Amino acid sequence: MLNRGRLTAAGLAIALGASLAACGSRPKTSGFTQKLVILGFDGMDPDLLKQWIDAGRLPTFKKLADGGGLYPLATTHSPESPTAWASFATGVNAGKHNIYDFLVRDTATYLPDLGMVRREPPKFLFNYIPTSKPKVHSIRGGTSFWVTAGQAGVRSSVLTVPVTFPPEEVPNGELLSGLPLPDIRGTMGTFYYFATDLSRYEEGNTEFGGVLKRLVMENDTARTELIGPPNPVVRQQLEKLRAKSPALTDEDRKQIAALEEKEDIRLPMIVRWDRAAKTAVVDINGESVALEPGKMSRWINLDFRINFFVRVHGMTQLLLMKADNELQLYISPVNWKPDNPPVAISHPSSFAGDLFRRLGPYRTLGWAEATWPLNEGRMDEETFMEDLYKAFDDRAQVILDRIDARQWDVLVGVIESTDRVQHMMWRLMDDRHPMYDAALAAKHGGAIETIYRRADQFVAEVLEHLEPGTDLLIVSDHGFHSWRKAVNLNTWLVQQGYMVIQGQQPGEKKLDDLFGGAEFWENVDWTKTRAYAMGLGQIYFNLRGREAKGIVSSGAEATSLADELAARLLTMQDPEDGSRIVRAVYKRDDVYSGEFLGNAAELQVGMEEGYRVSWQTALGGSPPGIVYPNMKKWSGDHGGYDFATTAGVLVSSKRINRNDPSIMDIAPTVLKYFGLSIPGTIDGKSLW
Nearer to Zn ion by C-beta: 451 or 493? 451
Query: Comparing C-alpha atoms, which of 604, 601, 628 is closest to residue 614?
Result: 628
Compute the distance between CA of residue 342 and CA of residue 133 in angstroms, rounded to an integer.
9
Report the C-alpha gap between 508 and 475 in whole angstroms: 37
* Closest CB to Zn ion among residues 419, 512: 419
Name the residue nearer to Zn ion (CB basis): 83 or 231. 83
* Residue 388 beta carbon to Zn ion: minimum distance, rounded to whole angstroms: 14
Phi, psi of 329, rounded to the nearest 5 degrees: -125, 125
Which residue's CB is nearer to Zn ion, number 419 or number 430?
419
Who's near 589: CB < 8 A, 6+ residues apart?
597
Report in angstroms how near the CB of residue 45 gets to Zn ion at its nearest. 11
First and final C-alpha spacing in the chain: 67
The reply on whether position 264 binds Zn ion by CB under 5 A is no
Q: Taking the complex as a whole, how short is the minimal distance between the CB of residue 43 and Zn ion, in angstroms?
A: 5
The residue (of 419 and 449) whose beta carbon lies closer to Zn ion is 419
Which residue's CB is nearer to Zn ion, number 376 or number 419?
Answer: 419
394 binds Zn ion (CB under 5 A): no
Residue 226 C-beta: closest distance to Zn ion, Å? 28
Of the two residues 419 and 547, which places its CB atom closer to Zn ion in the complex?
Answer: 419
- The three-state secondary structure class of 539 is strand
Residues in the chain: 688
**DSSP assignment of 330-372:** EE---EEPTTS-SS--EESTTHHHHHHHHH------SS-S-HH
Q: Which residue number has the CB closest to Zn ion?
A: 419
Write down the least CB distance from residue 393 to Zn ion, Å: 20
The whole-angstrom separation of Cα 194 and Cα 214 is 6
We find the least distance from the C-beta atom of residue 430 to Zn ion, in angstroms, to be 17
Q: How far apart are CB 443 and Zn ion at their closest, in Å?
A: 24
CB-CB contact of 630 with 513 (8 Å): no
Q: Is 309 helix (H, G, I), strand (E, B) or coil?
A: coil
DSSP 74: B
Nearer to Zn ion, 342 or 606 (CB): 606
- For residues 228, 233, 235 and 241, what is the CA-based torsion angle, rounded to 10 degrees? -150
Nearer to Zn ion, 78 or 196 (CB): 78
H or E stretch at 393: helix 381-405
DSSP state of 56: T
Q: What share of the chain is helix, strand, coil (3-state, %, to 5)?
A: 30, 25, 45
The verdict on 477 binding Zn ion (CB under 5 A) reads: no
Residue 688 CB, shortest distance to Zn ion, in Å, is 28
Residues 6+ apart with CB under 8 A from 637: 423, 480, 481, 483, 612
Using CB under 5 A as the binding rule, whether residue 45 contacts Zn ion is answered as: no
Kindly state whether residue 369 participates in binding Zn ion, applying the rule CB under 5 A. Answer: no
Residue 608 is a binding residue for Zn ion (CB under 5 A): no
Number of residues that bind Zn ion (CB under 5 A): 1
What minimum distance in Å lies between the beta carbon of 344 and Zn ion? 26
User: Residue 291 or residue 435: which is nearer to Zn ion going by CB?
Assistant: 435
- Taking the complex as a whole, the smallest distance from the CB of residue 41 to Zn ion amounts, in Å, to 12
Q: What are the C-alpha distances in Å from 297 to residues 135, 273, 316, 350?
A: 32, 16, 9, 27
CA angle 600, 605, 606 (to 5 degrees): 125
Site for Zn ion in 307-326 (CB under 5 A): none
Window 417 to 456, contacts with Zn ion (CB under 5 A): 419
Q: Which of residues 405-424 bind Zn ion (CB under 5 A)?
A: 419
Smallest distance from the beta carbon of 420 to Zn ion, in angstroms? 7
3-class SS at 487? strand
Smaller CB separation from Zn ion, 42 or 264: 42
Q: Which residues bind Zn ion (CB under 5 A)?
A: 419
